[in-house]
Structure 1
């Protein structure tokens, strides 16, 4: 593990990761999980427009909630991120099948995934060690 020259860097990275995780959490709870779990008509209508049969919104909402909770718990955050990545991939595939617009709909799952993984990478030093953004010059030779 590399030594940090300034001890404030890891602390600021952790806080930046928490902020990204918070943004991801706000979106997931407000726009994705809650409407499905509360049985809001907009959730079923949207699922129908995307070609999903009636009644799947609740099941998908429960799956999203389980993955989301696993992501928020530090001990299971990596498992939660991997499972949530699968769900986001399914959302992307659904948008492709529905021939939705590329940047606003199809790639939205990718945007969420980048925020989710970025938050986890910034707040977890073990993940930064496993997947370093840049290696030091001494490690390259």
Structure 2
């Protein structure tokens, strides 16, 4: 008979640290999505330099995708699905920067840093994820 692991509650310090970390990610991604919705000329010019269509429709589509994934991440019942989708989106950004030879530490790996914040914030605030990953703390 398997032994069931009891879920330990998240400490207040971990919960608030996770909320803060996740909140920073959410604010950044919502801002990133919003500037793509408008879209500023700097957005379409950057997309063109990266080898993508510089159309406003493409920028708006990316903005909507960013915002939708971020909202899913921000809502507790869907936060794990949102984290997975945000991670995929950030992986695409990393690939695009590597493809055009962007500076590694400042541009190409920025998506990695943000992804670590996404999962770190979720791990700190969500006891279900800790249980899923087998963490005892």
TM bucket, shorter chain: 0.7 to 0.9
Q: Which residue of 2 aligns with 1:19?
A: 20
Once superposed, what is the RMSD of the aligned Cα atoms? 1.8
**Pairing of 1:1-141 with structure 2 (within 5 A):** 1=5, 10-30=11-31, 32-55=32-55, 56-133=58-135
- Taking the aligned partners of 2:101 and 2:77, their CA distance within structure 1 comes to 38
Give how far 1:49 is off.
1.1
Aligned residues: 131
1:41 to partner: Cα distance? 1.2
Q: What is the CA distance between 1:131 and its match in structure 2?
A: 1.6
User: Any unmatched runs of 5+ in structure 2?
Assistant: none
Quote how far apart the aligned CAs of 1:101 are: 0.4
Give CA deviations for 1:45-76 in whole Å, capped at 9, x if unaligned.
11111111122211111111110011011111
Please say which of residues 65-74 and 34-43 is displaced more in the overlay: 34-43
The runs of 4+ residues in structure 1 deviating greater than 3 Å are 1-4
Query: Which blocks of at least 5 consecutive residues in structure 1 are unaligned?
Result: 137-141
Looking at structure 2, the residues matched to 114 and 132 of structure 1 have their Cα atoms a distance apart, in angstroms, of 18
Q: Deviations over 1:106-136 (max 9, x none)?
A: 1000000000111111110010111245x58
Residues 19-56 of structure 1, C-alpha deviations (whole Å, 9 max, x = no match): 001111121122x1111012111111111111111222
Q: Tell me: higher relative CO, structure 1 or 2? Use CA pairs within 8 A at least 6 residues apart.
A: 2
Does the aligned pair in 2 maintain the 1:24–1:112 contact within 8 Å? Answer: yes
Mapped contact 2:44–2:59 kept (Cα < 8 A): yes
